[in-house]
Amino acid sequence: MKELTQLRWLANKLGRQSYDKRCNKGHNIHKKHDAVAKNYHRILEQTKRQHWRDWLEKGKDPDIWTAH
């Protein structure tokens, strides 16, 4: 998904900036990185769950047993 790709890119970018400011714990970049990273992981987990549900709903017997 394009949205996940962009969020991952932003989280990684902010992570690098946060790492550069690791000596300054009060810098705003740390809070910004935490918020974006949490949002990325939340959306990633929701997407995985939805994909799994969709697959199970559309799956037929042979498909489901071959996945096991």
pLDDT tens readout for residues 30-66 = 999 999 999 999 999 999 999 999 888 887 666 666 6
3-class DSSP state of 25: coil
What's the whole-number mean pLDDT along residues 5-19? 97
Asked whether the whole model's pTM tops 0.85, one would answer no
Grade residue 18 by pLDDT with cuts at 50, 70 and 90: very high
Does residue 68 register a pLDDT over 60?
no
The residues, any chain, with a CB within 8 Å of residue 37's CB and separated by 6 or more, are 11, 14, 15
